[in-house]
């Protein structure tokens, strides 16, 4: 009830006060209240769980062993909970943990980036903002499939998200890379967005079949062409010439040779 919610909120607030060591019993109580679940929750239960996730995140920021213990649990809940409210709370907590404990969370960025294809518009937009902030501040690098996960946000079905993603990638992150980001990934984007995994080098990221399907644009030629046009639009003439040469070599040449 309200008393539990208020108590959990207060515990999270106390965890943020410098020099205050929370009693072990209090920390254990908040952990015990966290109920990982793949089921729908009543509104009151969801409200409590939201506050528990927030409080646990704040406690983790002040307690490295607790963060190490809780990270996998929080990540698993991000993937499993059907509640968009809880997924939003989990995103905030995990982004904060990534700043404080980068090496702990960074390897799991593909799972966090999976929220860029969340069925809920608010969660997708929130994921975009948080991931962009982590990239801008360099707590997260363009490693693994992250760039290609981000590309799909450029053609999100929600116009607000697609416009925001285009601004973030093309006007902030691409210039920050010295204007090399789009060109450097253009050829591999053709393989990734088509879901082709037969190339010896490209599109070899570890990924679950569910995650691969979530980000596939294999059945949507219009969206793929839109992404390619956006990337090419940020390339110089020389970069376009290099990309054309590589596309001929890696795709047309490989088809002619029977390698693809």
Report the alpha-carbon distance of residue 246 to residue 223 in Å, rounded: 22
Return the pLDDT at 1. 67
- The token duo for 170 is 């093309």
pLDDT interval class at 40 (50, 70, 90) = confident
Return the pLDDT at 91. 97
User: Which of 39, 129, 133, 53 lies closest to 82 in space, CA to CA?
Assistant: 39
Burial classification of residue 242, based on how many CB atoms lie within 10 Å of its CB (0-12 exposed, 13-18 middle, 19 or more buried): middle
Q: Give mean pLDDT, residues 184-204.
A: 85
Residue that wins the pLDDT comparison between 22 and 132: 132
Return the pLDDT at 196. 79
Q: Give mean pLDDT, residues 54-65.
A: 94
DSSP H stretches of helix in 137-208: 146-153, 159-166, 174-176, 181-193
3-state SS record for 19-62? CCCCCHHHHHHHHHHCCCCCCCCCHHHHHHHHHHHHHHHHHHHC
Return the pLDDT at 250. 79
Report the alpha-carbon distance of residue 129 to residue 61 in Å, rounded: 21
Q: In this predicted structure, which of 6-20, 54-68, 128-142 has the lowest mean pLDDT?
A: 6-20
Report how far apart the first and last C-alpha atoms of the chain are (Å, whole number): 60
Return the pLDDT at 39. 77
Average model confidence (pLDDT) across the chain: 90
Residue that wins the pLDDT comparison between 95 and 1: 95
Report the alpha-carbon distance of residue 36 to residue 34 in Å, rounded: 6
Instruction: Collapse the DSSP code of 165 into the 3-class scheme (helix H, G, I; strand E, B; otherwise coil) and give the result.
Output: helix
pLDDT interval class at 17 (50, 70, 90) = confident
Q: What is the pLDDT of residues 96-106, one digit of tens each?
A: 999 999 999 99
Answer yes or no: are the C-beta atoms of 192 and 148 closer than 8 Å: yes
* Model pTM score: 0.90
Please check the confidence at residue 141 and state whether its pLDDT lies above 70.
Answer: yes
């Amino acid at each position: 009830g309200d008393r539990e919610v208020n108590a959990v909120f207060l515990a999270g607030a106390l965890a943020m006060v410098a020099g205050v060591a929370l009693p072990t019993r209090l920390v254990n109580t908040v952990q015990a209240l966290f109920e990982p679940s793949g089921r729908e929750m009543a509104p009151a239960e969801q409200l409590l769980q939201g506050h528990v996730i927030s409080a646990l995140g704040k406690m983790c920021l002040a307690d490295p062993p607790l963060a190490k213990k809780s990270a996998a649990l929080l990540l698993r809940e991000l993937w499993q909970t059907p509640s968009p409210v809880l997924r939003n709370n989990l995103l905030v907590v995990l982004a904060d943990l990534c700043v404080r404990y980068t090496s702990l969370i960074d390897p799991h960025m593909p799972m966090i980036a999976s929220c860029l294809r969340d069925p809920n518009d608010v969660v997708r937009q929130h994921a975009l903002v948080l991931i962009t902030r982590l990239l801008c501040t360099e707590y997260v690098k363009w490693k693994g499939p992250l760039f290609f996960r981000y590309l799909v946000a450029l053609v999100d079905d929600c116009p607000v998200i697609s416009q925001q993603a285009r601004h973030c990638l093309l006007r902030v992150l691409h210039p920050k890379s010295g204007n090399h980001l789009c060109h450097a990934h253009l050829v591999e984007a053709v393989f990734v967005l088509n879901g082709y995994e037969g190339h010896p080098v490209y599109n070899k990221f570890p990924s679950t079949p569910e995650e691969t399907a979530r980000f596939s644009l294999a059945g949507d030629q219009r969206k793929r062409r839109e992404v390619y046009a956006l990337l090419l639009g940020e390339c110089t003439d020389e970069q376009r010439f290099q990309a054309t040469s590589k596309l001929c070599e890696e795709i047309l040449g490989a088809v002619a040779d029977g390698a693809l």
